[in-house]
Structures are given as structure tokens and as C-alpha cells.
Chains A and B, each alone.
Chain A
């Protein structure tokens, strides 16, 4: 009978189960527990490693970003410096050119003035000698008005031929 009291079965069940708990606790669940703890530790370590690698990668990325930023800043400064140097050089060049141009102009003016003065002196000498010559010729011959006029034109023509156009 399934419902009747069977002390034999009751006692043997108690003994069997007690023995089973003792055997399994020692030889099965303890190693399994250790194994599961190892696995848990391994997973935890792997996760920690992954996190560490991720942090390192993030650090490297940030460092790279910082380097890039620094490089950009350096390049920007370099470009600005170059522009400033170029502008300075241009300004210096312009100033230098202006000074040289002024000097050239001054020199040219001085030369022109000298040339003019020289020409005027030469002209004055020529006019004087011509005047002397004209006076000598006038004195030598008595001329009618037409002859007088032709003589003046001839000397003027001669003057032009000898000295070219007068300097302005």
C-alpha cells in the first residue's frame, strides 16, 4: 500500500538521502562551486580587462586628439607668424623701395640741375661769343634792314644747330 506506514522505506530513505547529501556536498557541489567561482572570476577579470583596454584606448584617443589640437594650434601660429613676417617684409620692401626711389629722384634732380646749370653756362658763353661776333660783324658792314634780319636768322639757326633745343 502506498499510503501505509513502511518504516523500512522511511528509514532507508532518510539514510540514502543523508548519504547522498554528504557525498554530493563533498565530491560534486564543492568542486562545482569552485568551478563556478573560477568562471565568475574569469568573466569578471575579462570584463575588467576589457574595461581597462577600453579606458586605455580612450586615453590614447584623447591623447591623439590633444596632439592633433596642439599640432593644429602650432600650424595656425606658424601660418600667422609667416603672414606677419611676409607683411613685415613687404612693408620693409616698400619702405626700402620708397627710400631708394626718393634717393634716385634726388640724384636725378641734382644731375638735371647740374646739367641745366652747365647748359646755361655753356649757352651764356656761346651767346656772349655770338654777341661779340655779331657786334663785330655789324661794325664791319653797314647793313640794310633786310640784310640785318637775315643775319639774325642765320645766327639763330646756327645757334640751334650747335646746341640743340634749349633745356626746360
Chain B
């Protein structure tokens, strides 16, 4: 299906039993990070309080959209300190997604179509929400949350596993949703390109059109998935903050 195999570019000896060798996927993650910096730093570090030019307006529009939809409406004024985290998450995922649209498939692909990247991002959100809860309620408070109030004690054997599962399902669904969406789009584009390459020259146009349409659709999906991931992360943080208040 045209997948790019992971290859080690710079081998690094294991540190505490963990292999930290630089692979092509790691480079793509760095590229996504670098792209995020290149995209945001010039926009955010200008001096004039008035936005000038298409790019400045576009980026400020995006930033304000995420701030309004995720931070202001989702988290409220108390959650403003999480704005840099959530904005970084949105733009990092967006840049990682958009790298998959660069038409050099031998080098570039959407690194978010790799479950390890999405799992790492979901893990960050999970650890953050858990640490927020533990900081406020303590470990006992966190564990007590698995047994909703009003439920008879003898139901614990049924309710607690369900609560734990639903709690663990959050990062899992976060990781899998982004991975699956990016993977599917990526795979479909490869299918179309493969069909175009394998068809007779007269029939090449049809799969090529399909690949172009899918590319445009992927552009839309790149934005939507970045936004959904960020929005869900915001909701999970909000849950932790709200429970802080209780």
C-alpha cells in the first residue's frame, strides 16, 4: 500500500533500556514541530497591535477560533492558562497532518497516521488530567471518583470496572480517532495513486482525479481532526478542573 518503512537515520545507544535512535518518523515529528514554530513565531512576535496582511489575519483567525471554541467556551476564564498548551497541540497536529499532503511520498507522510505519535499526544493529555485530579483530590479522591455517589456498595464490582474502562478509553479513543482518520485518508490516496499507476494510460485520469479530490478532502480532514483532538483535550481538562472545584 506504499507505506514507508521506519528506518534508523542516527543510531543512539539505549538510555535506561530505552532506544532513542533517530528514525525517519522522528525527523518528521521534528519537522512538524519546526513547522509549527515557523508558522507561529512570526505571527505571535510582531509589534503592531493591528493585524496586517492575509497570512497574519488567517493565523490570528485560526488562533482566535481555537481560543474561543476550545478555551473560552470549553474551559471558561479559569482555563485560560491552558490556552498555550491547547494551541500548541492544535497547530502541532495540524502541521503534522499537513506534512502528509506534501507531494513527495518517499519522504513526507502524515506522521499522525502513526499510532505512536497520536498515543504520545493522548498520553500527555491523560497524564495532565490525572495529575490535575491527583493534585486537587489526592489519590484517594481520584479512586473514589470511580464509585459514583448514590450507587449501592455491593454494585461496586460492576460499576468500578466500567468507570475505570471508560476513563482509560478516553486517551485510547483520542489516539485511535486521529490515527485512524489520517491513516484512512492516507491509505485511500495511495490506493488511488496505485490504481492510476497500474491502469492503462487512457484510464489513468480517473484514479488521478480521485487522488486529487482525496488530497483536497485530506486538507479539510487535517483541520477537522486537529480541532477535534484539541477540543476533546479541552473537555478532559475541563472535567478535571470542574472536579477540582467540587
A interface list, Cβ under 8 A from B: 1-3, 5-14, 16-21, 23-25, 27-33, 35-36, 38-39, 42
Contacts and interface: CB of A to CB of B under 8 A. Distances in A.
A21 B19 CA distance: 24
B20 interface: yes
B13 to A, nearest CB: 12
Most buried by A among B3, B6, B116: B116
Given A8-B26, A19-B33, A39-B49, A14 B20 contact: no
Given A2-B3, A24-B37, A32-B63, A9 B26 contact: yes
A122 B87 CA distance: 138
A6 B26 CA distance: 10
A35 to B, nearest CB: 6
Give the size range of B's interface with the partner: 35 or more
Contact of A5 (B36, B41, B64, B116): B116
B45 A13 contact: no
Contact of B114 (A2, A30, A33): A2
A10 B45 contact: no
A25 B23 contact: no
Interface stretch (B120-128, B142-150, B155-163): B120-128
Interface string B94-105: 000000000000
B20 A11 contact: yes
A33 B20 CA distance: 35
B20 A8 contact: yes
Contact of A9 (B45, B117, B179): B117
B84 A24 contact: yes
Given A2-B183, A20-B92, 14 more contacts: A2-B114, A8-B19, A8-B20, A9-B116, A9-B120, A10-B123, A17-B89, A19-B33, A21-B84, A24-B37, A24-B41, A24-B44, A33-B83, A39-B49
